[in-house]
Structure 1
Amino acid sequence: MPTVIAATSVDLVLPPTDQQTPTAAVLQSPDTQPLDAALTEMHVLLEQHGYVVVVYPSSVSPALEQRMFAVRAMLESDRIALLRSDLPPLGTAVLVRQLRQLSICDFSAGVVASASRLLTHYIYAGAVLNSVTKLDRVPVSLKSHAKSWVPGSQFAVLAGPNPQLIKIGQTAGVLGGPEFGTQLLVAKGQLQTDWVSGTLAPAWQVQGLQEAALPSDSARWWGTGKLVEFAAFLPDISVLYQLVASVRRVKCHWCSMELIGDRCGFCSSPLPQPENQTHATGVLNQGASASSRP
């Protein structure tokens, strides 16, 4: 019985990578679903799957976030993980899909939930923007703010794993990218530019480029609707599997769930410092020869 992955909007549920990748449950906002219906829906998910791992962006409405915590408290369940993602919406959607892929592997629910923190470090999420004047989720200098008032300006911004910002057209460089094989997902907003496909993709030596619909929350996250959002990610489930499997598993000292890394995905309790583990080095250099999906 695989752990079910849940998201807070339908546009965070990307098409599956193969016929085995399950879909995600989509939780409704308080505006469209009364509390008793939300309780019933979550109860059904728990009965059907045993554990529910909810991934939601930091830009989600406070009302929906409060609703999810209220549902978990009222059900008195320790089988619901609520994972807040600081990635931009498209990057969060990629994370949701990767957890969907891992949910049917031979990992426990605790490992799947805690793997979200590990996988976030391997998702290069950013956007091309026409302005950074309202961008408050990535460090922006006063000089960049001033430049954004110049008509026709465009900026390339990387939100994670290492925040970066460059002005397109006035620099010979590009954003620092991954040093391992990735595919690039692109979602176009109201900005006309081919910089992502024409400049960024070749510079990052991506293995493929795919298009997706722009998530509804992207304009609010980036501070403008004139953007092209992108996310580079590990596409191969065998590499994802080996990456997660390479980290030592321990039991949470608080809730006894199995976990990897430094924090439990279910109760959020940090691992005692001497036990903190980092992922094994060299995993991504071993390529697609890693163990396939169980």
Structure 2
Amino acid sequence: MSTAIAVTSADLVLPPVDQQTPTAAVFQSPQDQPLEAALADTQVLLEQHGFVVVLYPSTVSAAQERRLHAVRAILESDRIALLKSDLPPLGLAVLVRQLRQLSVCDFSPGVVASAARLLSHYVYAGALLNSVAKLDRVPVSLKAHLKGWMPGSQFAVLAGPNPQLVKVGQEARPLAGPEFGTRLVVAKGQLGGDWVTGTLAPAWKVQGVQEVALPAESARWWGTGKLTEFAAFLPDISVLYQLVSSVRREKCHWCGLELIGDRCGFCTSPLHVPENRTHASGAPHGAPGRS
């Protein structure tokens, strides 16, 4: 049985990369689905798959986050992992697709859940913005904030893994990108994406560009609706598999599930490590080689 991957919005479910990539379930908001229906749907997922890993953005409404925790509590299930992510919406959608790919591999549910933290370090998520005046999720200098109010300004911003900001047209290089082979996914909002596909993609030497719809949460996350969001990612399942396999596996001292890194994805308990032994942190120590 595979581990079910779930999200809080249908636009976080990107098209599959191959016929083996399963889709993701969608946990609807309280306004769109009564609690009884949410409980029934979740119970079906648990019966079909055994474990459910739910990923959701940090911008999700408080009501929807409470719903997720309520479903888990009422079902009294320790087989539901709730993973809040600080990635921008499109970057999170990429991470969700990668976990969907891994969910049908021979990894245990605990490893799949804790792999989210590891793989997020390899997602280069950013956006082209017309203003950074209301951007509060990436460090922005006062000078950039002032320029953000100037008509016609455009900024290229990278939220992670290393936050960056450059003014388009004045950058020495577009943005410091990945040193390993990636593909680029692009979602155009109320701003043309020619700079992303014509300047950024060649500079990052991406192996292909895919255009998708802009997630609904993107405007709120970036502080403006005039944007084009992008994310570079590792597309090859064999590389993802090798990356996750290379990290030492441990057993959670609280719930007993396998994990990688220093925290269980299901019960959130930190890894208990004897003083005379070290362990893998789950953060990248290097990068996959460029294909």
Alignment match, 2:209: 209
Q: Say yes or no: does 1:255 pair with 2:259.
A: no
Alignment of 1:215-226 (within 5 A): 215-226=215-226
Q: Which deviates more, 105-114 or 249-258? A: 249-258
CA distance, structure 1, for counterparts of residue 55 and residue 15 of structure 2:
16
Percent identity over the alignment is 75
- Give 1:207 deviation, angstroms: 0.6
- Give 1:250 deviation, angstroms: 0.5
**Unmatched tracts of structure 1, length 5 or more:** 288-294
CA distance, structure 2, for counterparts of residue 226 and residue 180 of structure 1:
30
CA distance, structure 1, for counterparts of residue 82 and residue 286 of structure 2:
30
CA distance, structure 2, for counterparts of residue 43 and residue 259 of structure 1:
24
Equivalent position SS for 2:136: coil
CA distance, structure 1, for counterparts of residue 125 and residue 287 of structure 2:
21
The number of residue pairs the alignment matches comes to 287
Alignment match, 2:159: 159
Alignment match, 1:229: 229
RMSD: 1.3
CA distance, structure 1, for counterparts of residue 182 and residue 173 of structure 2:
20
CA distance, structure 1, for counterparts of residue 158 and residue 286 of structure 2:
24
Alignment match, 1:290: none
Whether contact under 8 Å (2:57, 2:89) holds in the other structure is yes
Cα pair distance change 1:282/1:61, threshold 3 Å = closer
* 1:178-203 deviation line (CA, Å, top 9, x unaligned): 00000000000001241111111111
Whether contact under 8 Å (2:180, 2:290) holds in the other structure is no
Alignment match, 1:94: 94
CA distance, structure 1, for counterparts of residue 186 and residue 164 of structure 2:
18
Equivalent position SS for 1:229: strand
Q: Which deviates more, 186-195 or 267-276? A: 267-276
Equivalent position SS for 1:210: strand
- Give 1:276 deviation, angstroms: 3.3
Equivalent position SS for 1:38: helix
CA distance, structure 1, for counterparts of residue 146 and residue 100 of structure 2:
42
Alignment match, 2:190: 190
Alignment of 1:1-294 (within 5 A): 1-272=1-272, 274-278=277-281, 284-285=288-289
- Give 1:62 deviation, angstroms: 0.6
- Give 1:285 deviation, angstroms: 2.2
Equivalent position SS for 2:235: coil
Equivalent position SS for 2:266: coil
Equivalent position SS for 1:284: coil
Whether contact under 8 Å (2:81, 2:265) holds in the other structure is yes
CA distance, structure 1, for counterparts of residue 279 and residue 95 of structure 2:
23
Whether contact under 8 Å (1:243, 1:283) holds in the other structure is no
Cα pair distance change 1:164/1:281, threshold 3 Å = closer
* 1:20-39 deviation line (CA, Å, top 9, x unaligned): 00000011100011111111
* 1:23-67 deviation line (CA, Å, top 9, x unaligned): 000111000111111111111110111000001011111100000
Whether contact under 8 Å (2:102, 2:241) holds in the other structure is yes
Whether contact under 8 Å (1:29, 1:64) holds in the other structure is yes
Equivalent position SS for 2:288: helix
Q: Which deviates more, 251-260 or 189-198? A: 189-198
Structure-1-length-normalised TM-score: 0.95
**Unmatched tracts of structure 2, length 5 or more:** none
Amino acid at match of 2:126: G
Whether contact under 8 Å (1:242, 1:283) holds in the other structure is no
- Give 1:171 deviation, angstroms: 2.3
